[in-house]
Structure 1
Amino acid sequence: MSDAPPNYITPAGYARLKAEYDTLLATERPQLVETISWAAGNGDRSENGDYIYGRKRLREIDRRLGWLARRMKAARVVDPAQQPDRTRVWFGATVTIADEDDARRVLTLVGDDEADTSAGQVGWNAPIARALRGAAVGDLRRVTLPAGEREYEVIDIRYP
């Protein structure tokens, strides 16, 4: 048994992982195997671009399938809409925070596999998410970021 923290993920995030896995396994991989066997039948494999590229791409797909399978197996699907304590920041919360200069940011705490900082979705184990866990509106939280330490005030907490 590993001591890894649970891999929390939203139902939508899990569905995206599963869809990618299913597409790779049911569509891309079989098509690639077909191309490789066709290319292998064309004689000299050392100079056969289709064969060489196909084998390389097949290894990439198999690696990705293995990674997706491990992440889905470790996943703990949590629906933020079912959160009983909506007064504090927990998994799936959309939080409005303000820094010392009153610059506001809206962040949603999601699973690490579905984080997208450009869309305001921060992974559950990111430094800012760890600092905000359990905070209530009005709480101040310090975060050590690459740019230095910052203090944020929790302005609003929402759940789907």
Structure 2
Amino acid sequence: MTAPTNPITPAGYAALKARYDLLLGTERPAIVEIVSWAAGNGDRSENGDYIYGRKRMREIDRELAHLARRLKAARVIDPSEQPDKQRAFFGARVTLADEDDVRKSVTLVGDDEQDAGAGRIGWSSPLARAIKGAAVGDLRSVRLPGGDKEWEVVAIAYD
């Protein structure tokens, strides 16, 4: 069985790598130092610094393991190098219009860098799956919790 790939933009990969480096190089050593100091103070059962430090170290280790898996599976895709810029693929900024001509602009990015408030939707989200491969003028239907909604692709751009 092959490992799942994680498509990601160069900026998204850099952000994941920066978070990993910060945790591994700065935060974890600081917590290790606090835990070592607290352990030397005697009774660990009532030592708040020791208990909190160990808890925080476990959280950091879990996040480091998660980031390591995501970075290992990452497949960096530069949106500017898409061969067919007339269709919506990874990294495309797509402007959509609904039945009432309400327009919405979304950018198709990796799942690790999605931010709906900023208009970046994950590659495996229902809306992204619906508009993959669409060209300007195509109608796409998306199944949402409130029911099906139809969108028309109005514009496609790659930064």
| Fold conserved between structures, TM > 0.5 | yes
State how 1:119-138 maps to structure 2 within 5 Å: 119-138=118-137
Are 2:89 and 2:133, in contact at CA under 8 Å, matched by a contact in 1?
A: yes
Separation in structure 2 between the aligned mates of residue 133 and residue 22 of structure 1, nearest angstrom: 33
Task: State the alpha-carbon separation in 2 of the partners of residues 146 and 39 from structure 1.
Answer: 50
Listed as ranges, the matches of 1:43-82 within 5 Å are: 43-82=42-81
Aligned partner of 1:96 in structure 2 is 95
- In structure 2, relative to structure 1, the CA distance for the partners of 1:69 and 1:120 (3 Å cut) is same
**Counterpart residue type for residue 72 of structure 1:** L
C-alpha separation between the residues in 2 aligned to 1:145 and 1:120?
Answer: 17
Name the structure 2 match of 1:33: 32
Counterpart amino acid of 1:102? D
Partners of 2:121 and 2:87 lie apart in 1 by 17
Unaligned runs of 5+ in 2: none
* Cross-structure match for 2:21: 22
Corresponding residue for residue 149 of structure 1: 148
| Aligned Cα root-mean-square deviation (Å) | 0.8
| 2: CA distance, partners of 1:2 / 1:49 | 44
Identical residues among aligned pairs (%): 68
Q: Give 1:2 shift.
A: 3.5
Deviations 1:19-52 (A, max 9, x none): 0000100111011000000000111101100000
CA-CA distance at 1:147 after TM superposition? 1.3
Aligned partner of 2:110: which letter?
G
Q: Under a length normalisation based on structure 1, what TM-score does the superposition of the two structures give?
A: 0.98
What's the CA shift for 1:3? 5.9
Q: Distance in 2 between matches of 1:3 and 1:144?
A: 28
- Give the Cα–Cα distance (whole angstroms) in 2 for the partners of residues 144 and 98 of structure 1: 16
Unaligned runs of 5+ in 1: none
**Counterpart in 2 of 1:111?**
110
Once the two structures are superposed, what CA deviation does each residue of 1:49-80 show, in whole Å capped at 9, x if it has no partner?
00000000000000000000000000100000
CA spacing shift, 1:155–1:26, aligned 2, 3 Å: same
